[in-house]
Amino acid sequence: MLQLVDVGKQSIEAYLNLVGQETIAELKELARPLAGLRLAHINATPYGGGVSELLRSIVPLEQNLGIRAEWRVISGDEKFFNVTKRFHNALQGQVCSFTKEEEETYLVYNIRNARLLEDEYDAIIIHDPQPAALRAFSKTFFPHKNINTKWIWRCHIDTSQPCPDYWRFLKDYITDYDAVIFTMANFVPPDFKHENIIFIPPAIDPLSPKNLPLSDDLAQNILDWIGIYPDELFITQVSRFDPWKDPFGVIDVYRLVQKEFPHIHLALVGSMALDDPEGWEIYEKIMAEDLKDPRIHVFTNLIGVSNIEVNAFQHLAQVVIQKSIREGFGLVVSESLWKGTPVVAGKTGGIPMQLQDGGGFLVTSVPECAERVIYLLSNPEEAKFIGQQGKEGVRKNFLITRLLRDELRCLLSLTG
Ligand code: UDP
């Protein structure tokens, strides 16, 4: 069997005060015909990154609404995840050439995992490229099982300009899915034709420990514990250590901001994901910067900086930066806005839609980013107002209940 991820329990009623009776009633109504549906979400990692964040929140809610939802992860090792990270980068537009060896590795691990997909489901949602070939091999190994199963490929990354070699290969495996979900219309690769393309942006869970309301005092206590003290002004970026998140650009921004605000600190908070070996190389380079400058602080999940600490950083930072160069969605933007903290972020992928109701500034370069951060630091009252506007935007469009509604509609349309 593919490894099952234990998700705990959550009740849809718990969201009543946040989203209102009408939304809860709509979700229950939508889910009624889906009661008993056997649904598997399959991805590559149980922790680290936005997809695991989403699944951890949405699966218990689907279960609570009567769906027999499960979250399972494929297994792989460094060799496989090196290849799938190359896929990730190439599909986001990095120019690279696809080798025969990579193709072989990708297929061998997908074949192995397809053999482990023994249970029967009514619907299977495959997240991202890592397990995308499971459908094809599952049909080969278990021709009599999953005969009526609806297969959905859920793409979380920006595939608007994929590197042709990788995309050509992957496209063959996803064309036969019953539906393909992208975050936004822009992300559909130019030559991809499919009769059932659906657009669903991700969302944050306001009741997860990462997003629960914290008082200023409690947030400060949490940060004291890890060495960020109350008299310290700080800006932060919370992201996997990934070239697309531009952590070195953030350090350059900090150096420019420091010219105006000499006492500013920078907290780079990064998590290591099981399926992201590249993170280690970048982490080492960032640590070298950290050692040179006592005002740069680097934190990771490896030293216990996890959900509640991320919450405290996003709550207390004067400004959150998300200097992405490419971005699928960037959950961290909505997470920060939900705490009323203004965000200065790269104008790319799913970020602009999160800032459309206010909340911060979109930027395309290091100097522009630094200028906007300095502006917000220099105008704290306005920064507060901008942050609050962003929070209302998230309430309207980017809470987990909206995501749940869109997924339920998708399942209904496929399974009747
Ligand atoms: N995250 C975290 N700790 C870290 C860095 C990131 O918990 O040190 C979380 C972050 O809060 C967010 C997710 O990982 O929930 C990242 O999702 P996002 O969509 O921003 O980016 P992805 O990693 O999926 O590209």
User: Mutation test of ligand 1: which of 239, 305, 327 has the most ligand atoms closer than 8 Å to its C-beta?
Assistant: 239
CB 309 within 8 A of CB 222: yes
Mutate to test the pocket of ligand 1, among 85, 205, 310 (most ligand atoms within 8 A of CB): 310
How far from the centroid of its chain's Cα atoms is residue 102's Cα?
25
Q: Compute the distance between CA of residue 107 and CA of residue 140 in angstroms, rounded to an integer.
A: 13
pLDDT at 271: 84
Q: Tell whether ligand 1 has an atom less than 6 A from the beta carbon of residue 330.
A: yes
Could you tell me which of 211, 42, 62 has the C-alpha nearest to residue 131?
A: 42
Q: What is the pLDDT of residue 212?
A: 98
What is the reported pLDDT for 6?
96
Q: How far apart are CA 284 and CA 79, in angstroms?
A: 20
Distance between Cα 240 and ligand 1 center (Å): 6
Separation of CA 122 and ligand 1 centre (Å):
30
The Cα 179–Cα 380 span in angstroms is 46
- Residue carrying structure tokens 């799938």: 84
Helix-, strand-, coil-residue percentages of the chain, each rounded to 5: 50, 15, 35
Tell me which residue of 206, 401, 400, 404 sits closest to 314, measured CA to CA.
Answer: 206
**Domain 216-397 annotated CATH 3.40.50.1980:** no
Tokens of 68: 């027999």
The residue type of 265 is: H
The reply to whether 216-397 shares the fold of 3-203+399-415 is yes
**What is the homologous superfamily of the domain 3-203+399-415 according to CATH?**
Glycogen Phosphorylase B; (3.40.50.2000)
Ligand 1 pocket, residue 343 CB under 6 Å = no
Sequence spans of domains, the chain: 3-203+399-415, 216-397
pLDDT of 133: 98
List the chain residues with pLDDT less than 50: none
- Distance (angstroms) between ligand 1 centre and the Cα of 333 equals 10
SS3 label, residue 171:
helix
CB distance 366 to 255 below 8 Å: no
Residue nearest (by alpha carbon) to ligand 1 atom 2: 271
CA 205 to ligand 1 centroid distance, Å: 13
The whole-number pLDDT of residue 232 equals 85
Which of 88, 331, 398 gets mutated to test ligand 1 (max ligand atoms within 8 A of its CB)? 331
Of the candidates 180, 138, 179, 133, the residue with the CA atom closest to the CA atom of residue 156 = 180
Q: Give the pLDDT of residue 291.
A: 82
For every residue of 363-412, DSSP letters joined together read ESSHHHHHHHHHHHHH-HHHHHHHHHHHHHHHHHH-BHHHHHHHHHHHHH
Say if residues 168 and 152 touch (Cβ distance below 8 Å).
no
Question: Which tens digits make up the pLDDT trace of 159-208?
Answer: 999 999 999 999 999 999 999 999 999 999 999 999 999 999 999 999 99
247 lines ligand 1 (CB under 6 A): no
